[in-house]
Amino acid sequence: MSYREVTMLEIKEVLRLWCAGVAKKRIAAQLGLDIKTVRRYLREAQRCGVWPAGEGPLDETQVAAVVAALQPGWGRQRGEDWAVCAGQRKFIASHLEARVRLTKIRKLLRRRGVEVSYPTLRRFAIVELDFGRTAATIPLADGKPGDELQVDTGWMGSLEPDASGKRRRLRAWIFTPGVSRYRFVYPCLQETTATAIEACEAAWEFYGGVFRTLIPDNTKTIVQVADPLEPRFTRAFLEYAQARGFHIDATRARHPRDKARVERSVSTVRDDCFAGERLIDVEASRVHSLHWCRDEYGMHRHGTTQRLPREHFEAEERAFLLPAPTSRYDLPLWCEPKVARDQHAQVARALYSLPTRFVGRRLTARADLSTVCFYDRLVLVKTHPRVAPGHRSTDDNDFPAEKSVYARRDVAFLEGRAAGHGEAIGRYAHALLDVPLPWTRMRRVYALLGLVKRHGAQRVEAVCVTALGVDMLDVHRLKRMLELATPAALQAAHARIIPLARYLRPAQQYALCFTPDPDPEGELTP
């Protein structure tokens, strides 16, 4: 005779009919049970305190007690190997904690003379030692409407071949709100900070507002240094978040449950949105993904919320979003250029001047559409208007005065500097520069100022008067005139100086005394 397991509903129905006054045989016939089975159920019910109508109410606790009494042996019976495993419980548990494989533990048990089958060992480890069991998963709260927007990125496939036959791979940024699950997909070719900001701008336009918190993974385009407590974000995206007024809550590394609403969406979007589609370029893929988000995915009932994501978003989340941007975001360029010896730093293939003290150092530069700002750590040191690639923006005040004149070809300043040493020197410098291309004669004026520094303004002034009188505009001849025209006072001073003889010694150092010549008349001259 085969064994048929009686369900709890049947036991409860037996008790209900019995309490209602139905005869036992009638109960057995109505439910298709044997009369002995019905009697056994009712006998256990009386032991548990269940009586016909008028003698006690029938509740779920009593029904559960009857079921437990009728079927105390539920579950699979354990064999002898289970008892053997129980005797080796400590040995098995210690090796599992040391991350030893179960197959290896079975070999170690065999060396100890303990023979046990692997299926029994595995069941014992699972049931008694929690082998292979992960921690219980707690559903994450959806949060308030308009608070969280989770974002992920992944490969979607390839575009159609272009004119040269080249196929380009397509990526996509995928946005999913925490409450409505109204998904937005933004295709692109590269995963960069610029495309991340561009995708966010498109998302705010799609949703009609800005979510208060953005939850990305640890992509390098947004998170510069991943850390569970204090992650460091890229300058450009952090500045963008400040401009749009939302917070960034990056997930932990290798913790996909931190953004579970969007984590498994990459394969879904790839298969349902882009698979089998013939997309010519990125713009065509963006038009197709927008239609898919609004009319296909947005109007398909979600398995968890059991609502249409688009209607769910319009009804509960749109009103709680921050205002949408009204102007296009000016994406800045951040870089760290080095100031060269010519006191210029390169930003976006353009050159910008900086003060002399920063030569050889690296500064932080921020360039937008109109300005370029240079920072030394946190201090703003220079601001330039942005110029096109290949051009330069030079501030004359950044250079020393003695060097900037030549670099700027400022002949007027150079002429005025010469005139400051004397009227004739100024006229001589003006005469040197009085040519169609005056900056080609600037070196001659520098040489003239060098003569003033060497010989003095008074002497050069006198020689310049003589040179201008005969219309002599040769700096080399002017130099020779200065060297030959020695002042008379200097000549007189040199004439009065009698140099000491090199080997002059006093008379006492000689062995023989000096004897004067005798006078012809026989007298010695004193």
State the pLDDT at residue 404. 65
Q: Which residues, at least 6 apart from 506, have a Cβ–Cβ distance to it below 8 Å?
A: none
Quick count: other Cβ atoms within 10 Å of Cβ 393?
16
Sheet harboring 379-385: ordered strands across?
A: 333-335, 364-367, 371-376, 379-385
State the pLDDT at residue 487. 59
Distance CA 519, CA 167 (A): 129
Q: Which of 109, 132, 110, 108 is nearest to 122 (CA)?
A: 132
Tokens at residue 111, please? 């060396």
Tokens at residue 255, please? 């913790």
Number of alpha carbons in the 13 Å side-chain half-sphere of residue 176: 22
State the pLDDT at residue 499. 59
Q: Which of 154, 157, 152, 163 is nearest to 279 (CA)?
A: 157
Tell me the residue ranges of DSSP E strands in 287-349.
Answer: 333-335, 344-347
Contact between 214 and 151 under an 8 Å Cβ cutoff? The reply is: yes
pLDDT per residue, tens digit, the chain (526 aa), is: 455 566 778 888 888 888 888 888 888 888 888 888 888 888 888 888 777 655 555 677 777 777 777 765 555 567 888 999 999 999 999 999 998 999 999 999 999 999 999 999 999 998 888 887 766 677 778 889 999 999 999 999 999 998 888 999 999 999 999 999 999 999 999 999 999 999 999 999 999 999 999 999 899 999 999 998 999 999 999 999 999 999 999 999 888 888 888 888 899 999 999 999 999 999 999 999 999 999 999 999 999 899 999 999 999 999 999 999 999 999 999 999 999 998 999 999 999 999 999 999 999 999 999 999 999 988 999 999 999 999 999 998 888 866 666 666 778 888 888 999 999 999 999 999 988 888 788 889 889 999 999 999 999 999 999 899 888 899 999 999 888 875 554 444 445 555 555 666 776 776 666 666 665 555 544 4
The burial class, CB within 10 Å (0-12 / 13-18 / 19+), for 124 is buried
Contact between 151 and 173 under an 8 Å Cβ cutoff? The reply is: yes
DSSP states along 120-163: HHHHHHHHHH-TTPPPPP-PPP--STTTEEEEEEEEEEEPPP-T
Collapsed DSSP state (helix, strand, coil) of residue 113: coil
Tokens at residue 441, please? 């004669």
Question: Kind of pairing, strands 232-233 and 184-188?
Answer: unpaired
State the pLDDT at residue 490. 42
Cα–chain center distance at 507: 95
Please give the single-letter amino acid code of residue 462.
A
Distance CA 470, CA 473 (A): 9
Show contacts of 374-381: CB within 8 Å, 24+ apart: 374/345, 381/354, 381/355
Q: Which residues, at least 6 apart from 470, have a Cβ–Cβ distance to it below 8 Å?
A: none
Number of H helices and E strands in the chain, helices first, is 21, 14
Give the chain's end-to-end CA distance (angstroms, integer). 176
State the pLDDT at residue 417. 87
DSSP states along 223-257: EEE--SSS-EE-HHHHHHHHHHT-EE-PPPTT-GG
State the pLDDT at residue 513. 66
Give pTM, 2 decimals: 0.65
- Give CA separation, 120 vs 22, 108, 111, 113, 341, in Å: 48, 16, 18, 17, 78
Question: Kind of pairing, strands 392-393 and 350-353?
Answer: parallel
State the pLDDT at residue 261. 86
Distance CA 155, CA 171 (A): 4
